[in-house]
Structure 1
């Protein structure tokens, strides 16, 4: 049995869940609700009662019901479960599960807005802090039930130890390194319209690519490009678009937007950029590894998972993004690295490497 919080149409944790499903294609699947279309076999994917209610449209409103829901899963002869958790899925308990039932929990993060509100603004409000205070003891108690834990980075491993007081091993998540490196020039895989957009971009641009949401700090990509005296390309979509467009109008360098790029378009941008900049504090950070896989130098946040993938002096540079002088120096240092080193380093985070580590951990199950 494979377990995941909820299944969105896209997302980093969903990509991990997909990779787990590819390793164990005959396993049944369970989630709170499924918002994807055709991603998983509907006959094998079981959803909880929350999927039949309006609560599925609001994670905040559904949150108080999740812990109890995870404790009442139907057991259909399962003797093991591999659980993908970033909120409460690690609470999963199958009614009547047999003695010796094995639980393997792959942790993307202990819930940020409960345990680390400084990393997630959703946890800073008074109501959120009150809910967190009530849920922390339960969350820790459930985490201490018999299970084997894996964390997606040493950064998360330390937070698991602090929050739940349990030990874990580090298994980095899968990145589509093989797919990115299978094509020498992703421009050749673009539509005519995409090629026209790519051709319109200035040479030597700094790239910021992610969801347009506050904690990704794409405003710091603009500031870094200003410090380096280079044009900017921001690729993605999200609610911060208008704010970023306002920042672009005030910037001292040109800022271009590529909205909702396809996979091939994003990978072509990685190949064409002079520097990929990633200021967010992430649990792991898949996109910096994608950029390295495509050969791009990376300037990333010195705190969090990016400090485990980006190697200063070899594949890029790490800075806390505090001052323009630091950003300019970091950009120069990152661009002084070699493409061969970047491409080679990315292979340490390939899907093949992830599959090997997972099967070593779980075994034949």
Structure 2
């Protein structure tokens, strides 16, 4: 069985990376597809993994400031075709579930959260300290990203939610079980 792992980004350590560590231990021969990989900022043992990045990895200052590039993530992910794999496991809190595949590829998404800044915009704006002007500028863009995120979620074969709260959000935002 040919299996690939997909992870949003590798530029900081958090809970998502703990999940990825377990997935790599379960499937050590599988490549990891990610949008960006800060080789120097991540644990040294990651260098032993087969990490394959998208074109976004070459954008200036993206490792430390990836938020301004958020509108580009859907474009980058939908350009990745993983149809050559039998199974793809995505570890998602962003847009990594939006890659291309054919009907013979099984996509299982371990959902840490539906994309928070898309579905919980007001909380994101408040947390990041954006003023009302920037917030009003972001809303039309977020509407487009929300539509893309919803459509990408419809291409996932099976969702696994990390918690009952996330299961409810998957149902609410994606109309999926």
Range into which the TM-score falls when normalised by the shorter chain: 0.7 to 0.9
Query: Are the counterparts in 2 of residues 79 and 101 from structure 1 also a CA contact under 8 Å?
Result: yes
Greater CA radius of gyration, 1 or 2? 1
1:16 matched to 2:22? The reply is no
**TM-score, normalized by length of structure 2?**
0.83
Shift of 1:41: 3.7
**TM-score, normalized by length of structure 1?**
0.42
What secondary structure does 1:40 align onto?
A: helix
Alignment of 1:218-229 (within 5 A): none
How many angstroms apart in 2 are the aligned matches of 1:127 and 1:43? 40
| Cross-structure match for 2:87 | 80
C-alpha distance 138-98 of structure 1, shift in aligned 2 (>3 A): closer
| Cross-structure match for 1:113 | 117
| Cross-structure match for 1:48 | 54
The count of corresponding residues between Structure 1 and Structure 2 is 164
How many angstroms apart in 1 are the aligned matches of 2:141 and 2:34? 23
Structure 1 runs not aligned, ≥5 long: 168-365
How many angstroms apart in 1 are the aligned matches of 2:61 and 2:176? 31
Query: Are the counterparts in 2 of residues 70 and 91 from structure 1 also a CA contact under 8 Å?
Result: yes
Query: Are the counterparts in 2 of residues 9 and 37 from structure 1 also a CA contact under 8 Å?
Result: no
Alignment of 1:1-365 (within 5 A): 1-35=4-38, 36-41=42-47, 44-54=50-60, 56-57=62-63, 58-75=65-82, 77-93=84-100, 97-120=101-124, 121=126, 122=128, 125-167=135-177
Shift of 1:91: 0.8
Structure 2 runs not aligned, ≥5 long: none
What secondary structure does 1:54 align onto?
A: coil
